[in-house]
Amino acid sequence: MSRHTASFDAYYLPTHASMDDHAALHLGLDWLKQQPGKPLIMLSVASQVRNSRELEDASNWAAVLTPRTRGLPASQAGAALVAWAHEPSLAAVARIRGLESVCAFGLSSDEMTTWIGGHAAQDLTDLGRPAGTVALNPVVTVAMEEMTRTINLNNELTTAEEKAYFVRTLQVLRDGGYDLDVTQLSTWAVAHGWGAEVLPRFRELAEGVRSRRQFRLQDPWGPSADALARWKAIAATGDA
């Protein structure tokens, strides 16, 4: 059962040798000022507001929030800058309905790949560049699509049933000889309705399957015995 992926225009600021975090923050705040609606700045922790005088000044014209802020708005028309982003802050922003655009910077390499591919995010410094995408092996895609339709994504892989189905699906793929690139899988998931808040759990379980960790699954739910053959047949015909 799929949730709707947050619908906003997504951007990112790459941080590297030629653009440190402070330069990215400056560009991000300049972008935020130009967006319509109410401006919002999402930080990982409240103390980050003291990282920059420019950010302290921005708190006079933009709401500064963290994932732990009490009374996070359920909806708000406007734009958000996610500074020194990590998955909880991205997940908090994704839960705010009505945002028209979101820009993030400061992500780790894997988180950046997931953000770009999962939301078709564009580089704010190079808007002519096509947004990133991810293409899984067709058989892996069929398996992921079936799992997305089958489990309750709202449970965020926390129940024994969803955990069992997720782990067994990936085990079937792994044992069938398919590479489980966790970053590509999580990027695909974000683009197909899996919320950002599930990503830490998603990655933990997927990494465990990939490394052949022994799971103590407490529920028998999983794909059918003929699942791999069926996924291959669907992938071959393109009849998902």
Q: pTM (2 decimals)?
A: 0.68
Q: What is the pLDDT of residues 98-109, one digit of tens each?
A: 999 999 998 888
Domains with residue ranges and CATH for the chain? 9-123 (3.40.50), 138-237 (1.20.1290)
Span 177-229, pLDDT tens digits: 999 998 889 888 887 888 777 888 998 999 999 999 999 999 999 999 999 99
Which string of DSSP letters, residue by residue, matches the chain? -PPPPP-SEEEEE--BTTB-HHHHHHHHHHHHHTSSSEEEEE-SSGGGGGG-HHHHHHTTTSEEE-TT-TT--SEEEEEEEETT--HHHHHHHHTSEEEEEEEEE---HHHHHHHHHHHT-EETT-TTSPPP-----HHHHHHHHHHHHHS-GGGTT-SHHHHHHHHHHHHHHHHTT----HHHHHHHHHHTT--GGGHHHHHHHHHHHHTT------------TTHHHHHHHHHHHT--
- pLDDT tens, position by position, 29-51: 999 999 999 999 999 999 999 98
